[in-house]
């Protein structure tokens, strides 16, 4: 799977940018990375998100235990890879019918968070038990919601191109193609949103600190992010608002 977002939609952490710069190529120009994915996996599907970016996926060569799923509901696009263990409980929690699968559950969890905000965003992700990584884009609010499970069970990488656009994929070679050395595994147990950036859903009150990665030649390759046990976030309660409020700016 592949997702590319313009820097105005999803600004990746500065620490992902390697001093050994990425190739001087915009990953969004002329569908550069989507075309590369198609060359590797004929039959792949690309969904153009206009100026915001693109989402692409292929069912070719997937792990049957960690399948890829894609769905669109009310202008919310979601790519999901993996398996949720507590599907029945989440269907009941979000009032979904028996035919709903993992990707529909993630979309409904996000939509509930966006429209009503009954739970903190970290709790919404923490409630999903299993092996997973997902990328969600809400075209109405131009917001992203991205996460990986606590064990990093699904291969999932992110990086930035020379223009600061964000690239996400389960294929490290695709990320390297667009980002050079400015990439890293997506932090396990973490989620990323357009409005609040990267956070840990396992330790939501702690800050994350970047730890530079160094390759075999001694060059910096992006950063991993670790929970900083010493630094706590400032807690702030959710404001009381009416039912028409859009919660997306708070998660």
* Eight-state DSSP code of residue 215: -
Share of the chain above pLDDT 90, in %: 55
Summarize pLDDT for 139-192 with one digit per residue, the tens.
999 999 999 999 999 999 999 988 889 999 999 999 988 888 899 999 999 999
- Please check the confidence at residue 114 and state whether its pLDDT lies above 80: yes
Query: Which pair of tokens denotes residue 210?
Result: 């970047």
Angle (CA) 189 2 81, round 5°: 50
Residue 42 burial (10 A CB sphere; 0-12, 13-18, 19+): exposed
Rounded Cα gap, residues 27 and 53, in angstroms: 9
Whole-number CA gyration radius for the chain: 17
Q: Is residue 44 over pLDDT 80?
A: yes
- Dihedral pair phi/psi, residue 78, rounded to 5°: -145, 130
Angle at the Cα of 216 from the Cα atoms of 210 and 222, rounded to 5 degrees? 25
Which residue shows structure tokens 């989620």? 191
Give 247's DSSP letter. G
Per-residue pLDDT at 242:
46
CB burial class (10 A; 0-12, 13-18, 19+) of residue 71?
Answer: middle
**Segment among 45-54, 63-72, 220-229 with least mean pLDDT:** 220-229
């Amino acid at each position: 799977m592949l997702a590319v977002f313009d820097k105005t939609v999803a600004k990746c952490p500065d620490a992902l940018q390697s001093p050994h710069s990425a190739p001087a190529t915009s990953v969004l120009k002329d569908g550069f990375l989507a075309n590369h994915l198609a060359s590797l996996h004929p039959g792949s599907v690309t969904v153009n998100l206009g100026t915001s970016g693109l989402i692409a996926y292929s069912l070719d060569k997937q792990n049957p235990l960690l399948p890829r799923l894609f769905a669109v509901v009310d202008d919310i696009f979601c790519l999901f890879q993996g398996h949720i263990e507590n599907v029945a409980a989440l269907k009941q929690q979000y009032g979904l019918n028996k035919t709903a699968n993992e990707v529909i559950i993630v979309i409904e969890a996000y939509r509930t968070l966006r429209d009503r905000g009954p739970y903190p965003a970290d709790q919404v992700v923490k409630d999903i038990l299993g092996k997973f990584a997902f990328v969600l884009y809400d075209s109405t609010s131009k917001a992203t919601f991205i996460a990986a499970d606590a064990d990093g069970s699904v291969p999932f990488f992110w990086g930035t191109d020379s223009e600061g656009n964000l690239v996400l994929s389960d294929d490290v070679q695709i990320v390297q193609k667009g980002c050079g050395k400015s990439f890293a595994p997506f932090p396990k147990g973490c989620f990323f949103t357009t409005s609040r950036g990267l956070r840990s859903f396992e330790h939501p009150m702690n800050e994350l600190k970047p730890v530079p990665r160094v390759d075999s030649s001694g060059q910096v390759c992006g950063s991993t992010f670790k929970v900083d046990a010493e630094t706590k976030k400032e807690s702030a309660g959710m404001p009381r608002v009416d039912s028409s409020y859009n919660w997306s700016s708070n998660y």
